[in-house]
Structure 1
Amino acid sequence: MHSHHSHSGQYVQHAKDSLEECVQAAKDKKFDVFCLTEHMPRSRETDLYPEEIESKTTPVDLAKVFDDYVKHARQLQKDNTSNTEILVGFECESIRAECWDRAVELKKHYGLDLCVGSVHHVNGIPIDFSQGQWCDASDSVSDMIDDQTTPEHALYKKYYEIQWNMLQKLKPEVVAHFDLIRLYSTIREGFGATENYVRENWPDVWDQIIKNIDFIISYGGFIEVSSAPLRKGWNTPYPRPDICKAVINRGGRLCLSDDSHGVAQVGLNYKKTLEYLEGLGVKDLWFLTKKSGKVEAQKIEIVRAKEAGFWVSC
């Protein structure tokens, strides 16, 4: 079993538990591959989260924390004698274009194994922190609204345009929570609204989604299937079926992630996630490995993945 996206409370203030405890949890659950991907440091005080402001954390502190994380993670990777392979990477920020330049520098400077490409902001406003901020982000795209475009339509369009720019700049090995913009959406696809709402009602947004998927496929990136939304009240992982089916039909590579923020979330809801993928007709999962000395992509049939030691340990 694999996770290409994880966090610890030691290096992210909104998570729990130490990095070593999270790694040990992955080992105890007999993960085959567990990727450490703490957030890259943000460089502006205006980008700090409430818990960081409360703890009087500064951007300089965040840079030091990230440096400490990489050194710690590399040591855990070096000392690892278990059957659980540890890869060391980071999750990028997409607050503004300068974040991508810094992400490129960080990956090169530290020689990191992978970059997890994410978009958590639109016009500098978080879209997955609260319903209120999601609405603020929606208000921020008023310049894109016309007789044919509602605020939510414009917000989706802007989100996937930012994602496109991030993909162009970083070509991340793993693209995280592809449709995170839906977390606080007022259009509850799959909860009453048609599952194909975006494709049927916002063809320009759907065209951008397909464009993004095709680009990820062109450079060999993975689109993660994340179990995280199942613990947030969703009835499916990210991405929802419309996007998952588009990835499958176009020959894209899907990988597993738990986006864990502590020991309790390592591998959480993986049974439901695999059932979801099988229901969509997915046959293979992809994963990263460094056993040859360099990071490479490999795949495994879901049938075989269901025989992994993870299921026995859990």
Structure 2
Amino acid sequence: MPHSHHSHSGQFCKHASGLLEEVVREAVRKGFTMFGMTEHVPRYREVDLYPEETALSLDILSEQFHQFLGEAHRLKQAYASQISLLVGLETENITDIDLEKLESLLQRLGRRVEYVVGSVHHVNGIPIDFDLPTYQRALASFNDKLEEEREEALFSAYFDAQYEVMRRFKPEIIGHFDLCRLYQPSCKFGKYRSVWEKIERNVRFAVDYGALFEVNAAAFRKGWETAYPGEDIVEARFYATGLHHCIANNPPFKIIQRHGGRFALSDDSHGPHAIGLNYDRLPPYLQRVGIAELWYLVENNAPNIGGRYVKAVKLDGEWLDHKFWRQNPTR
């Protein structure tokens, strides 16, 4: 303790900063005991490159990812006496091409990829977390819908894409579960029954195969008052044709906890400056939503359901009693 299962560096991600070794050194300095290095997988169409990547070819992007794996495994050995490092990747699901290529990539790489963060960043092929105008373009892409129906359509498409990532790859970590409302954090999913049904489907599926849901502190630096996922994910309140349907007394996160869901910490850092950023805001949030247990990944001798050699273990004792929180007091 503490842990982070999701990170990036400027060495291998153009919208991050710093060298991967600088990231690891900062994690050691701040007292992390487990840290996951999880670079984005390559993209396979030029149209999917971000503006800062336009000078790169697709081949260079692919080579960059393989260089990441080499450096990550070097650091894993070099810093083994100071910190437990795991080498993973973060998924994309822009089109079916990404899923097909990832399937082949995982088969080729075998145990060099120790775990997977299952994330979605696009809807209808358009980034939903790049900036507000691009998000609005993703909304507008549902041009067969009335304007008031487009939000529901975007959310539905996002959770369908998330489900497909889970179904095909069984990611050990479910990344930023509700990223689809990054630019409208006050929006309540429960007003759309169809969206809520997809959320519950995804939660059930992830729990059934043993995934961990990341409590992702990056939402705080994006202006949220909560981590991802937000509290209402599990309040199960529906609004339809003037009727307010509420499952009484559902505390926050009950939909995940009710199905036996487990939680892990992530900072989703994009450089050394963001290691553990806003972790001081996690204890009040975790207490408020009633999360009593935290889990993390460790290496394992036997393969899990995804064929990778890690497993989830529960942090012993009361997580809030750990010395990390005393060294890094909450605000």
CA displacement 1:3-33 (0-9 Å, x = unmatched): 0000000000110110000001111111111
1:234-287 Cα distance to aligned partner (Å, 9 max, x none)? 100000012233212221011100000011110111121122011111110110
How far the C-alpha of 1:311 sits from its partner, in A, is 4.6
User: Is the CA contact (8 Å cut-off) linking 2:92 and 2:120 kept in structure 1?
Assistant: yes
2:306 corresponds to:
none
Distance, in Å, in 2 between the alignment partners of 1:215 and 1:174 is 13
Match of 2:327 in 1: 312
* Whole-Å separation in 2 of the counterparts to 1:291 and 1:82: 18
**Aligned twin of 1:198:** 189
Q: Percent identity?
A: 40
For 2:274 and 2:317, the matched residues in 1 are separated by 21
Helix, strand or coil at the partner of 1:37: strand
Is the CA contact 1:30–1:83 (under 8 Å) kept in the aligned structure 2?
Answer: no
Per-residue CA distance 1:91-146 (angstroms, 9 max, x = gap): 11111122122222222322211111111000110000011111111111233x26
The equivalent of 1:68 in structure 2 is 67
Q: Quick one: distance in 1 between partners of 2:73 and 2:295? A: 23
1:303 maps onto 2:323 in alignment: no
1:101 maps to what in 2? Answer: 100
Following superposition, the deviation at residue 290 of structure 1 comes to: 1.5
Are the structure 2 counterparts of residues 313 and 236 from structure 1 closer, same or farther at C-alpha, using a change threshold of 3 Å? closer
Cα separation, partners in 2 of 1:306 and 1:142, compared to 1, 3 Å = farther
Query: Which residue in 2 is equivalent to 1:264?
Result: 273
Q: What is the CA-CA distance between 1:309 and the residue it aligns to? A: 4.1
> Do structure 1's residue 178 and structure 2's residue 168 form an aligned pair?
no
TM-score between both structures, scaled by the size of structure 2: 0.86
* 1:291, distance to aligned residue in structure 2 (A): 6.6
Unpaired stretches in structure 1, ≥5 consecutive residues: none
Q: How does 1:276-295 map to 2 (within 5 A)?
A: 276-290=285-299, 294-295=309-310
Q: 2:259 maps to which residue?
A: 250
2: CA distance, partners of 1:82 / 1:265:
23
Cα 1:25–1:69 shift into 2, 3 Å: same
Distance 1:275 1:38, change over 3 A: same
Between the aligned partners of 1:302 and 1:281, the Cα distance in structure 2 is 16
Q: Which residues of 2 match residues 80-91 of structure 1 at below 5 A?
A: 80-91=79-90
> Partner amino acid for 2:189?
V
1:219-246 deviations in Å (ceiling 9; x for gaps) = 1011111000101111000000122332
Please name the residue that 1:225 is paired with. 215
- Verify the 8 A CA contact 1:157 1:205 in the aligned structure 2: yes
CA contact 2:283–2:320 (8 Å) conserved in 1: no
Uncovered stretches (5+) of structure 2, i.e. residues with no partner: 234-252, 303-308
CA distance in 2, matches of 1:311, 1:31: 14
Tell me which residue corresponds to 2:142: 141
Mean Cα deviation higher: 57-66 or 92-101? 92-101
Matched residue SS, 1:267: coil
TM-score normalised over the length of structure 1: 0.91
State the secondary structure of the residue aligned to 2:7. coil
Q: How many pairs were matched up?
A: 301
Partner of 1:284, secondary structure, is coil
| Structure 2 residue identity aligned to 1:300 | L
Q: What is the rounded CA distance, in whole Å, between the counterparts of 2:231 and 2:165 in structure 1?
A: 23
1:83 to partner: Cα distance? 3.6
Q: Give the Cα separation in 1 of the matches to 2:13 and 2:323.
A: 30
For 1:109 and 1:32, locate their aligned partners in 2 and report how far apart those are by CA, in whole Å.
Answer: 30
Other-structure match for 2:243: none
Question: Using the alignment, how far apart are the partners of 1:58 and 1:256 within structure 2?
Answer: 34
Q: 1:18-76 CA deviation, whole Å, 9 max, x = no partner?
A: 000000111111111100001111111111100011xx111100011011110110111
Task: Output the CA distance in 2 between the equivalents of 1:286 and 1:65.
Answer: 31
1:158 CA drift (Å): 1.2
> Is the CA contact 2:217–2:277 (under 8 Å) kept in the aligned structure 1?
yes
Separation of aligned partners in 2, 1:17 and 1:291 = 30
Moved more, 209-218 or 295-304: 295-304
In structure 1, the partner of 2:159 is: 160
Tell me the amino acid that sits aligned with residue 168 of structure 2.
K
1:283–1:301 CA contact under 8 A, matched in 2: no
